[in-house]
């Protein structure tokens, strides 16, 4: 048993340190702003994963969205309209229908989405299931090619044009000790237990200066408790913004330190991208 343990130990030590840490150091601890950038003095950092940004669930904020319709996979000479398993193949030919009065051009990128009721006053929840490139028209439908799969892609789902968003590349986040501050709206789906890499909606958006890639902390309200420690704010979780609307944002939870994350939990931005 001892030789096996030594081999495993050697393998763990061989992993590069840069590969072991993907969350910024200043999000792992409730450090002050003066210590927030120490982790970025010696190594480049790519803070935005574009796949996560494109797959992010978001709120419509009661906006009228240009929803088209997913028709189904294209087979030779015909378009299947139903009765098939969820799409699981990259490169598959898939037919969609643009919204009334709209049109998709060759080269456009669209995403299939599932639309579900959202929190009161925030519109509906839009959850992407796949990404497709428009390649032409076939059998009277707009033909696309599946580029990415985020969930089950089925006929009857809605279709939206993909908004363009530049990849910031390797940049150093900048600490923002003065906020802005807001609150948690809730998760995309009701959950009893939140987990790391889950998503939450918060009531901070572009109007508050938020942008994709920003880092936030979720904190407990300071107030009287059972002991002196309860009288101060406590760090509950850390997250990163992966979608931004006018009044709301979607964050991906990087680390959860306490389970007390409910609607109304205070949120503050602690760093942004230059």
Q: What is the pLDDT of residues 117-167, one digit of tens each?
A: 999 999 999 999 999 999 998 766 899 999 999 999 999 999 999 988 877
Q: Is the peptide bond before 184 cis (omega within 30 degrees of 0)?
A: no
Indicate the SS3 state at residue 179. Answer: coil
Instruction: Map residue 50 onto helix, strand or coil.
Output: helix
Q: What's the pLDDT score for residue 139?
A: 65
Cα distance between residue 116 and residue 148, in whole Å:
21
Percent of the chain clearing pLDDT 70 (strictly above): 74
Predicted local distance difference test score (pLDDT) of residue 1: 44
* 31: pLDDT strictly greater than 60: no
Q: Domains in the chain, start-ordered, CATH in brackets?
A: 24-47+170-272 (2.40.10.340), 58-161 (no CATH)
Phi, psi of 79 (to 5 degrees): -115, 120
Statement: residue 254 has pLDDT above 80: yes
Lowest average pLDDT, out of 29-33, 168-172, 218-222, goes to 29-33
Share of the chain above pLDDT 90, in %: 55
Beta-carbon contacts of residue 214 (< 8 Å; ≥ 6 apart): 240, 241, 249, 269, 271, 272, 273
Whole-model pTM: value is 0.77
What is the distance, to the nearest Å, from the Cα of residue 156 to the centroid of all Cα atoms in its chain?
23
Neighbours of 16 (CB within 10 A): 6
Distance CA 116, CA 124 (A): 6
Strand duo 181-186 + 234-244: pairing: unpaired
Q: What is the mean pLDDT of the chain?
A: 81
pLDDT tens by residue, 233-249 = 689 999 999 999 999 99
Confidence of residue 222 (pLDDT cuts 50, 70, 90): low
The per-residue pLDDT for range 174-183, each reduced to its tens digit, is: 999 888 999 9
> What pLDDT is recorded for position 19?
38
Region of 15 on the Ramachandran plot (φ > 0 left; ψ -120 to 50 alpha; else beta) = beta
pLDDT confidence bin for 76, thresholds 50/70/90: low
């Amino acid at each position: 048993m001892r030789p096996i343990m030594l081999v495993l130990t050697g393998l763990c030590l061989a992993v590069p340190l840069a590969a072991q840490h993907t969350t910024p150091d200043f999000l792992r601890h409730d450090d002050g702003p003066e210590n927030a950038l120490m982790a970025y003095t010696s190594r480049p950092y790519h803070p935005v994963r574009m796949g996560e940004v494109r797959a992010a669930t978001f709120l419509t904020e009661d906006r009228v969205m240009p929803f088209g319709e997913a028709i189904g996979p294209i087979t030779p000479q015909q378009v299947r309209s139903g009765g098939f398993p969820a799409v699981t193949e990259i490169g598959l030919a898939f037919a969609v229908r643009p919204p009334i009065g709209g049109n998709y051009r060759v080269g456009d990128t669209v995403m299939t989405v599932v639309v579900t009721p959202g929190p009161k006053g925030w519109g509906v929840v839009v959850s992407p299931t796949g990404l497709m490139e428009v390649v032409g028209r076939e059998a009277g439908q707009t033909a696309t090619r599946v580029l990415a799969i985020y969930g089950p892609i089925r006929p009857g789902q809605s279709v939206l044009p993909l908004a363009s968003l530049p990849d910031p590349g390797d940049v150093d986040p900048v600490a923002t000790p003065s906020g802005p501050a807001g609150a948690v709206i809730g998760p995309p789906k009701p959950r009893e237990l939140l987990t790391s890499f889950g998503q939450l909606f918060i009531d901070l958006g572009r109007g508050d200066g938020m942008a994709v890639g920003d880092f936030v902390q979720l904190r407990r309200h300071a107030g009287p408790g059972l002991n002196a420690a309860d009288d101060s704010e406590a760090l509950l979780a850390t997250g990163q913004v992966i979608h931004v609307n006018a009044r709301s944002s979607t964050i991906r939870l990087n680390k959860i330190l306490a389970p007390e994350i409910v609607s109304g939990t205070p949120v503050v931005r602690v760093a942004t991208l230059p």
